[in-house]
Structure 1
Amino acid sequence: MKYILTSAIIFLAHVVLQAQNIEVTGVIKDTLQNPLEYANILAVPDAENADMRFSITDKAGNYLLKLEMNQTYEVTVSYLGYEPQTFTLVTAETDISKNYSLKESLNQLTEVELHYTPPVTVKKDTIIYLADKFVTGEEHKLRDVLKKLPGVEVDRDGNVTSNGKRVTKVLVEDKVFFTGNSKLAVNNIPADAIDKVEMLDNYNEVAMLKGLKDSETLAMNIKLKADKKKFVFGDVEAGTGIKKRYVVHPNIFYYSPETTLNFIGDLNNTGVKSFTFRDYLEFEGGFGKLMDDVGSYFNLFNSDFSRYLNNNDYKSNTNQFAAGNIRQSISKNSDISAYVITNNAKIETQTETNTAYLDNDTPFIEDRTSNNTVNTFFTIGKLTYEYKPSFKEDLSYNSFVKISNNDSQGFISTINPVQNNQIATQSDIKNINLKQQVSYSKKLTDSHTGTLEASYTFQNNKPVVNWQTNQQILQGLIPLETDDFYTIRQTKKIKTHVANAIVKDYWVLNSFNHLYTSIGINAAFDNLYSNDVQLLSDGSINNFSSAGFGNDFQYQFVNPFIGLEYKFQIGIATFKPALYYHVYLWNTSQFNDKDSKSKALLLPQFSTKIEFNNSEKINFKYQLQARFPSVDQLADNFVLSNFNRVYKGNTSLENQLYHSASLNYSKFSFFKGFYLNVGTNLTKKIEQIKTVTQLNGIEQFNSEIMFNQPEHTWTVNGAINKKIRKISYKFKSRFTYNDFYQLVNNQTNLNISKGVSSTISAESFFKNWPNFEIAYTKDFSNYQAFGNKTKFENNEIFTALEYDFLNDFIFKADYTFNNYKNKTAGINNQFDNANTSLFYQTENSPWGFEMGISNIFNTEFKQQNSFSSFYISDSKTFIMPRIFMFTISYKL
């Protein structure tokens, strides 16, 4: 039964591909016989059950149309600024060759121009799709529309790519939609409201900085239909299922030229998470912006709040989500906008982990089971004011707030050669984060443009953690007093103030030479307090401060800098060498110990872009980067990290220093329905902060030192997509290599990890046949430590089917099969998952009805592996059980 869906999809693909087509080819030129790149050819069939066909010319003016045999089409050939040609074409059973010559339009506003818009318009860095030319009427959300646009893809998580490049910002009517993240847009904007989809490459929010300030942002701008530009639209879904399952999902949108109101709600206990870590990244400024400051990204990634957002596997999950957005035009030149996102969730998780500790002297195995119940609440808000009196001036102010409160209760059972123990855990983590940002840009003269960016951030984090057990833990590391039951409490308080400012002058010497000068300052002021104690049965407190525990640490960091960038163009290549001079001043203070240090660094950068044409590019970037330690790494008294770990910082730590370089090549062709993207990234650490571990069984003592042995991380990735007829074929692969040193029990060892992950897939885009997607992923990885190699392998097959039948029904199903192997340990596990639904809605009715089943086979867990500098783990993560749901939807 589990393989019926896969077999059916493969069979349907074979049957459908037997449909016969003929090819219409030729060249489109102007009257001077110059080829016209990106000319449109649209073939609209007379028969209602036949598909519309569409093509775009390549740089030589060639086009290829695949039409059905024995059909009559109305064919329109068009190019921006030229008079279109329309004619009737009757196909037989042989291929056709036909060339066209378009005349330049003397009057751009002729009657024909007003009544015809090309399905796709391609400019230097903009692609515009006319949605109505590609949709067939059964689409419900923006996601369904995007899947039918040539060169555009939407994955299962709601991420959008255009010709291989990922969309990182979403706009509606030129205004940012909520946080700008694609997931909220593609899953909620109704399909019938969409007029055009614009892909804007090298997007910059400040128009005057385009061509000056480098941007790799690809923005997607949704243009609404005329009758939706001042209209309330949206839908409401409500459903119930067996075992008290429920879902309520309202989406309400109001748009007008002056006012925008949006509301999205989601109440469910089906495991659906409406706000993810990637959504959070967009709130913090986007992945691209954060990766410019790697330290900020990793601090964000490792926060307690982010760890919750990253978790997608639960035994149970009750989720309450609401998001509201408003934008109001105050005047012709200014807008004010705000959004609030709030989420309240209760989740239960369970993992079973088999861990092999790799210490040469005493290798051993630990079996650990962890159960957790987590209650999490957060509210995120943003207020934005924008003032744009003219093209030459731009002002924006942003105010952010994030409030979160997470509490959890857990139970850990560990079985290892040293001990069998059970530990109960409790935690309560409260956090508030406030951030103010202002940016101002002004065209000073014809050749000078100035910008100012400044921000201030305040963060107050208050975690409290309890560990309870009936056995002593961390003996020799913490001064426990003998008791019937052991309760250990840790209280921490971290206050952070961060201020940043940069002033930049963009000097345009001429069209091919620019000179940019920057001056700025970064400052951070941190206070860390920690206290670890034992709560005794008689009510007294055993404070660990006598054993060197407890921190009251202050850290001040100031970094003034100046930078010079020279941007010049030679032919098709643009080069930008840069040099930044940084001065670093920092002070640390704990109790009576104070220390002050300073350092100056010269950090070079270099980038180049080679544009062969609009659709073929090479990008290269290099940076020498410095990253300074956090307050946690500097505080030099002991602190508990977990029930089996003690940590001690080091005030003598300085900066990490590493080289990073990337090279990317991309090419796409509408004419061939093809894109290619290949890239490689290399990071070499030359000075770094390294963790030193003393390991006793599963218990660890960790400290930090400066380490100057080089370590490398290298990745190579590639993706290729080719559309043949109505099938899109894709292949992507990623190779990773990482060598790093581990310092365990006074031994220094070089570890090496390698991995290859490859996926081959096919997806159909039929109008009158069932549509399918099938993908096969093969993962290889091996890890070398202490002279031993461990090999992992995973095979995954994914299949999906969507069939619109009898005009009013939509059937969907998907199936995933995994075969996981730890080849060294001889572990072999198979697990699969499947979901299905049947949706019914008549064409003219606002009501829709759906029956669905998730996790059809009631799969209990997923299998995965992980490794660190001294252990390798195989884990079972338990997931949501089978769920039956009946849902009713109403379209406003």
Structure 2
Amino acid sequence: MPMNRFLKFSGIPSHCKGLFFLIAALNLLVISTALGQSGYRISGTVKDSLNKAIPGAAIEVITGKDTVKGNTDYRGRFAVIGIVTSEILLTIKAMGYLSISRRYKFTPEHRSLIIQPVMDRDVNTLKEVVIKAKVIPIRLMKDTVEYNAAAYMVRETDRVEELLRQLPGIEIDNEGKVSAMGRPMTKLRINGEDFFTNNVKDFISQLPADMVAKIQVINDYGDEANFTGIKTGASEKMLNLVTKPGRNKGNFGNTSVSGGTNERYGLQTNANLWREKKQIGVKGSVISTNNAAGINRGISTGINYRDKLSKELTTSIAYSFDNVKNKNHQIDFIETLNTIGTIYTSDESQRNSKNNKHNVNWSLQSVGDKSYVQAGVVGTFLDNNDLFMGKSNQRGVIKQDQFNNSTTKDFSPDLNANVAWAYRLKKPGRNISVGVSAKNGTSDTQEDLNSQISYYGPGQASVVKDSVLNRIVNTRTLSRSVGASFRFSEPIGHRTDSLISRNLDVYYNFQLEVNNNDLLTRVNNNSSVGRVIDSLSTVYSSRFISHLIGLSYRFGAENLSYSLGMTAQPNLLVVENEHPVSRITRAGFNMAPVANMSLILSQNTSVTFTYNGNSIAPNLSQLQPVPNTRNLQNIVIGNPNLKSTFNHNASFTYQNSNLVNGRALMLGINSTLVKDQIVSNIILKRDTLNSLKQQTRFENADGTYSLDALYSWSKPFVENKFNVEFRGSIGVANTVSYTDSILNTNRGFNFAQAVSLRMNQKGLSLSAAANYTYSSNRYSLALGNLKDIQIYELNVNAKAFITPTISIGFDASKRINKGYSLDAKNPFLMNASIQKTFFKKQQATLKLQAYDLLNQGNYLMRSVSDNSIIDSKNSQITRYFQLSFNINLQQFGG
């Protein structure tokens, strides 16, 4: 029987490849039994002479007349199982390294070998010989999607950001934030190692694209999970860049100076020293703009240091400071439903804010063969000053005008610390881990609130009475929490000659949150200056204690891993109010299954599924029974009888790629079901003038859920010079709230569809896209009042290189808005730029940019909250011109 029928680096029999949606818990248990393999086994980690893992190295095992081929993963690891001959020839090859060929011999007593091969650099690579082979653009691995950078157009001056924009399933918004299949990228690594601050947005615009060999999008469960193999909770999307040989160190940095119309100017600079064991980075910037509301200015600076003190121990420390001044002018139109009609509110506000933020982050990590240790401390210090001025006109059920202004000062220091330890015991697969975390945060807020309300008589157009009230509110909040975790994993039926593992995992998490709140309200009217209002003041505390006890069965093979289990989550909420004296105790208990699965159906098809549940305690504003009168026409009163909320979350992902033509298909389904959701109960009350005002209370309610599906299909053609992509989403959601204590449901529907065409050639890049978005909301209190919006948008983006050093850029978009309550323009936006590069390596750039040439920009947004639909528009200057000069200094490799 051919050797490749025994193994393909997977351990999965061929009949598993037909599984897709019908995989369930019982099927997985049957599969795990069928996956058992016999014979010899060889595994290990391939590294270079500097102890760096070599991902993507080609592994070839010759055993008798059969040959098995594979590759190392992103950590340089490989494994071959089911070997039937006692003697083999192992060959390892990697670009830029001298190949290794060694013979190994097994014995009946030693049927498994673990090796650590070291590859030396090939300094005599013949650069004159170019061998062209079919490049595979996408490769699917367990928890990882890998893109081959060689399959995409990369110019000499391109940054990683330009490369990412070409990859199917990856999107970069206008602010430079990266997401994969709709989920944000939260961490950046290079060659599997943390990179400076791990900020994806900061470094994809600095690192050159030509240094990258592969780009990996990883479902990351954390370093401790990678060490122990126990993956619980939801994963995060991590971006890992695999560099070309010799490009894993260097110095890089840039300085940019810009100036433009409307008092725009900016200075940004950064410098980074990157060695294989040490990273040092500094940055600073000053940016100022003038919009319709006034001048916005931001000053920031930071420094970070990371050092690998030994083979296992790494430490890092970072500090940043931000000083921000913002002025914002906003118009809102709000439709609020209730049992007797609709309230139509027109709001116009201006907010001036100033804040200083200090952030300090220190971490220590040690990863060895047997033990894992991680410790960290994060401190944040925020000093905020805010000036607000606004007017509100209510019509419909309530007819009033309200004028508000307030000044707020807030100082909020927070300190977080955590320690985690994990250890692999003597028996393979048996490990233990413990962790402790603590948080201490305070907030000291002083508010000076002034309100004037103009009342209209029934059916009258003139004001019948004005009411003026000035309040001073002092709030002090102390929040403390401590958490602890314990995990133990016991292998079941472990065999040293097999890559298949079975484990029984037991884990326990404890969390204690304590909040103390001191609220003092004074009234400064002419007749009562500084008088304390007892009904609006309180001393208040709450304690939330939660336990999570879990038991799960975990199975792992090369191409299949899954975990099935159950969690029990008892919790206790204790609320104590000193004025008036009261004590509320609420106990809760939730049970939920735990499941996650990752399956490689074939070389080009993978499936993942995850489910988890979590409990959330109500916050102080939801619990506190003392009225919050910051908005006199919507007084908020908490409910100390609230239960904690429990969320059920599940997600499913299917990925398929064609290795021949590069076509890629990605499907995702996300769902949420909420039990005991904390919702608002908005009640209409009569005031002293027999007019109406709103009062918001809180209740628990069931019925909140959401289900979303999204897809991305792309295909390159003409040797990857062109690429077409279709992507879209469809979703339904149901939210619940109360209006006058009557349950009100809001059924929402969202649909989005986009098609884009990209062309990348050496002298020209061009992209065009068409987008359509539809969303609707239907309230049970007003079934005939369907609220929907539609957005049609066309985009074109082009960049042409007139000469090797001169390029011009142009982009345009036409947007049609339908369904907004506010006056919605249908803008046609046009931007243009021209740039010239200088010096031998084109390190400097002079660029002239023109934004919104037709001056038609406007910012519209719709949000839905409880029984209200809010349309918002910001007033900003969108047409401006800017000239910038940037110098980029970099040296990577030796």
Q: TM-score range by the shorter chain?
A: 0.7 to 0.9
Aligned counterparts of 1:808 and 1:505: Cα–Cα separation in 2: 60
CA 1:37 to 1:519, structure 2 compared with 1: closer, same or farther past 3 Å? closer
Aligned twin of 2:200:
182
Q: Provide structure 1 residue ranges, at least 5 long, that are not aligned to the other structure.
A: 1-29, 39-77, 84-103, 273-312, 476-481
Aligned counterparts of 1:845 and 1:221: Cα–Cα separation in 2: 27
8 Å contact from structure 1 (residues 163, 668) kept in 2 = no
Deviation at 1:485, TM superposition (A): 5.2
Of 263-272 and 686-695, more deviation after overlay is shown by: 263-272
Q: How does 1:481-496 map to 2 (within 5 A)?
A: 486-496=469-479
What letter corresponds to residue 356 of structure 1 in structure 2?
A: E
User: TM-score, normalized by length of structure 2?
Assistant: 0.76
Aligned twin of 2:374:
396
Q: How does 1:364-383 map to 2 (within 5 A)?
A: 364-383=343-362
SS in structure 2 of the partner of residue 358 of structure 1 = strand
Aligned counterparts of 1:33 and 1:637: Cα–Cα separation in 2: 71
Deviations 1:635-666 (A, max 9, x none): 22222353532111122222224543333322
Aligned counterparts of 1:536 and 1:863: Cα–Cα separation in 2: 39
8 Å contact from structure 1 (residues 799, 816) kept in 2 = yes
8 Å contact from structure 1 (residues 472, 486) kept in 2 = no
Aligned twin of 1:334:
313
Deviation at 1:817, TM superposition (A): 2.4
Aligned counterparts of 1:463 and 1:473: Cα–Cα separation in 2: 31
1:703 maps to which of 680, 697, 703: 697
Aligned twin of 1:881:
878
Q: How does 1:247-262 map to 2 (within 5 A)?
A: 247-262=266-281
Aligned counterparts of 2:253 and 2:557: Cα–Cα separation in 1: 51
1:728 maps to which of 723, 727, 731: 723
What letter corresponds to residue 541 of structure 1 in structure 2?
A: G
Q: Is 2:864 the counterpart of 1:864?
A: no
Aligned twin of 2:489:
506
Deviations 1:57-80 (A, max 9, x none): xxxxxxxxxxxxxxxxxxxxx976
1:209 maps to which of 198, 221, 227: 227
Deviations 1:574-626 (A, max 9, x none): 44222222332332211132344434443332333443124322333334543
SS in structure 2 of the partner of residue 633 of structure 1 = helix
Q: How does 1:557-596 map to 2 (within 5 A)?
A: 557-568=544-555, 574-591=561-578, 592-596=581-585
Aligned counterparts of 2:347 and 2:225: Cα–Cα separation in 1: 55
8 Å contact from structure 1 (residues 208, 392) kept in 2 = no
Aligned counterparts of 1:526 and 1:33: Cα–Cα separation in 2: 61
SS in structure 2 of the partner of residue 331 of structure 1 = coil
What letter corresponds to residue 443 of structure 1 in structure 2?
A: R
CA 1:834 to 1:468, structure 2 compared with 1: closer, same or farther past 3 Å? farther
8 Å contact from structure 1 (residues 474, 644) kept in 2 = no
Deviations 1:521-558 (A, max 9, x none): 1111110122222223478223221xx22221111222
What letter corresponds to residue 194 of structure 2 in structure 1?
A: V
Deviation at 1:342, TM superposition (A): 2.2
CA 1:724 to 1:244, structure 2 compared with 1: closer, same or farther past 3 Å? same
Q: Is 2:711 the counterpart of 1:718?
A: yes
8 Å contact from structure 1 (residues 151, 670) kept in 2 = no
CA 1:168 to 1:672, structure 2 compared with 1: closer, same or farther past 3 Å? farther
1:438 maps to which of 396, 401, 419: 419
Aligned twin of 2:40:
none
Q: Is 2:441 the counterpart of 1:459?
A: yes
Aligned twin of 1:781:
776
Aligned twin of 1:533:
522
SS in structure 1 of the partner of residue 683 of structure 2 = strand
Aligned counterparts of 1:361 and 1:32: Cα–Cα separation in 2: 73
Q: Is 2:159 the counterpart of 1:141?
A: yes
SS in structure 1 of the partner of residue 414 of structure 2 = strand
What letter corresponds to residue 323 of structure 1 in structure 2?
A: G
SS in structure 1 of the partner of residue 331 of structure 2 = strand
CA 1:589 to 1:810, structure 2 compared with 1: closer, same or farther past 3 Å? same
SS in structure 2 of the partner of residue 879 of structure 1 = coil
Deviations 1:798-827 (A, max 9, x none): 22111122110122222232211118x696
2:829 maps to which of 822, 827, 833: 833
Aligned counterparts of 1:129 and 1:618: Cα–Cα separation in 2: 17
Deviations 1:417-471 (A, max 9, x none): 4222322122222211100011111111223111122210111122322222344
Q: How does 1:135-174 map to 2 (within 5 A)?
A: 136-147=154-165, 154-160=172-178, 167-174=185-192
Q: Which has the higher contact order (CA 8 A, sep 6+)?
A: 2
Deviation at 1:322, TM superposition (A): 2.2
What letter corresponds to residue 786 of structure 1 in structure 2?
A: A
8 Å contact from structure 2 (residues 402, 454) kept in 1 = no
Aligned counterparts of 2:557 and 2:89: Cα–Cα separation in 1: 34
8 Å contact from structure 2 (residues 185, 238) kept in 1 = yes
Of 862-871 and 366-375, more deviation after overlay is shown by: 862-871
Deviation at 1:218, TM superposition (A): 4.7
Deviation at 1:790, TM superposition (A): 2.0
What letter corresponds to residue 617 of structure 2 in structure 1?
A: F
8 Å contact from structure 2 (residues 425, 431) kept in 1 = yes
Aligned twin of 1:676:
665
Aligned twin of 2:615:
626
Aligned counterparts of 2:770 and 2:763: Cα–Cα separation in 1: 22
Deviation at 1:320, TM superposition (A): 1.6
User: TM-score, normalized by length of structure 1?
Assistant: 0.76
What letter corresponds to residue 386 of structure 1 in structure 2?
A: Q
CA 1:669 to 1:105, structure 2 compared with 1: closer, same or farther past 3 Å? farther
What letter corresponds to residue 449 of structure 1 in structure 2?
A: N
SS in structure 1 of the partner of residue 625 of structure 2 = coil
Q: Is 2:510 the counterpart of 1:521?
A: yes
Aligned twin of 2:401:
420
Of 329-338 and 428-437, more deviation after overlay is shown by: 329-338
Deviation at 1:106, TM superposition (A): 7.5
- Residue identity over aligned pairs, in percent, reads 16
Deviation at 1:36, TM superposition (A): 11
CA 1:542 to 1:866, structure 2 compared with 1: closer, same or farther past 3 Å? same
Aligned counterparts of 1:802 and 1:809: Cα–Cα separation in 2: 11
Deviation at 1:765, TM superposition (A): 1.6
Aligned counterparts of 2:217 and 2:410: Cα–Cα separation in 1: 41
Aligned counterparts of 2:273 and 2:552: Cα–Cα separation in 1: 45
Aligned counterparts of 1:473 and 1:524: Cα–Cα separation in 2: 44
Deviations 1:679-704 (A, max 9, x none): 22333334333321113588421112
Aligned twin of 2:106:
none
Aligned counterparts of 1:648 and 1:163: Cα–Cα separation in 2: 40
Aligned twin of 1:232:
251
SS in structure 2 of the partner of residue 363 of structure 1 = strand
CA 1:172 to 1:643, structure 2 compared with 1: closer, same or farther past 3 Å? farther
Aligned counterparts of 1:833 and 1:330: Cα–Cα separation in 2: 52
Aligned twin of 1:820:
817
Deviation at 1:211, TM superposition (A): 4.2
Deviation at 1:566, TM superposition (A): 1.0
Deviation at 1:676, TM superposition (A): 1.8
Aligned counterparts of 2:261 and 2:679: Cα–Cα separation in 1: 52
Aligned twin of 2:429:
447
CA 1:344 to 1:732, structure 2 compared with 1: closer, same or farther past 3 Å? same
CA 1:744 to 1:597, structure 2 compared with 1: closer, same or farther past 3 Å? closer
CA 1:36 to 1:747, structure 2 compared with 1: closer, same or farther past 3 Å? closer
Aligned twin of 2:625:
636
CA 1:564 to 1:396, structure 2 compared with 1: closer, same or farther past 3 Å? same
Of 788-797 and 483-492, more deviation after overlay is shown by: 483-492
Q: Is 2:342 the counterpart of 1:363?
A: yes
Aligned twin of 1:297:
none
Aligned twin of 1:348:
327
What letter corresponds to residue 413 of structure 1 in structure 2?
A: K
Aligned counterparts of 1:593 and 1:676: Cα–Cα separation in 2: 58
